[in-house]
Structure 1
Amino acid sequence: MNGGGGARSAEASRAIQQAVAQGDKAAVADDAKFQLKKVDNYYGSTAGAGSGEFHAYRHLRRKEQERMAALEKSDEDARARNEFNARRKRDQEAIDAKSRKRAEKRKRQKERKPPPPEPKTNAVEKKKGEDEDEDAEEAMRARKLNKFSNDGSFLDAVNALKEYAAAPETK
């Protein structure tokens, strides 16, 4: 079976083993490529053919053609799938690069933007001396408004006032 498409000769096998030993991957890859094995054991259509041989020949011929068509179709499908995946990967890398570029631009714009101003406590800025005067005035006003002492007994005082107001006057 030396002349067949799929079998290797002893010399070719030795050459591959030597290439592997020497580390020559290119030589191994070239020789190890897939080779189609064509079936050539079909009947001829004329020489010594009986009345039924023609039909057997046609059947074998049709099967071989279908097999070769299926191999070619699967090879074409694999090639198309590889092209699609390569195109998809290339497009995805372009999209990612564009997204990265936009993100960097947003980051640069954010860094250039000045920080927001500090919120003001009052609408009008006050001078230091005025603050102390206003605090003292506010404390005086609070003392005048508060009729209860601030010892934590506010609720007790309110309840006592309620009881006093509710009690009947006896004189």
Structure 2
Amino acid sequence: MGRYTTVQAYADNNPNMRSVSYDQATGKTEPSSSTAGAGAVKPEKVDNPYGSTAGAGSGEFHVYRHARSREMARMAQLEYEEKQQLLHEDFEKRKHEMETEEERKTAKRRKKRMRGKESKMRKKNMKLGGVGLQEDGTGGENLEGGEEEFEYTPTHRQIENKGDNDDAEKIEFKNDGSFLEMMKKKLAAEAAGTAKQTNNGNERGDENDLKTESKETS
């Protein structure tokens, strides 16, 4: 093979290329009547597209490297923005959940305060109206809410229960832990009263005996 060779830089089925024979292109044959006035055939210049290694110079690799760096930086920026967007959406979601929970707790505390105020107003109005308040094991204190619940007692029920509560009202003992001490004092007082009555009876009997003896001697 000689020093100077020719290389075909286009495909045979390329529609953009003219269908000209080699002899006609080199001028060995006479041109036809249609191409007689055109002179010698001038083939089109072939420009290698970007990325082709055919006829690539020494700077093509650096151009490719810079283009690749720009593309990688663009993809990294897209991934960063997507990550930030996901973090922002997660933050907004948690914020909404916390706000909803806080609003629920606030509403619950508000209702509790309103129930307390309403209970105090009911108690005050019922007290002014002379309606009794029943405070027992079930209606005295609300363990869950920490507030008093009042039960309305009709007047006829109050009259019926008044007789049953008379004996309970007569009890003088207080529920402060002094029951035993008060019972001891009461028993001691009863014992002292019994002893005093016994002494009085004995003294009266002695006086009667003395009177009887004096009458007999006289």
- Greater length-normalized contact order (CA 8 Å, ≥ 6 residues apart): 1
TM above 0.5: no
Structure number with larger C-alpha Rg: 2
More helix by share: 1
Normalised-by-shorter TM-score class:
0.3 to 0.5
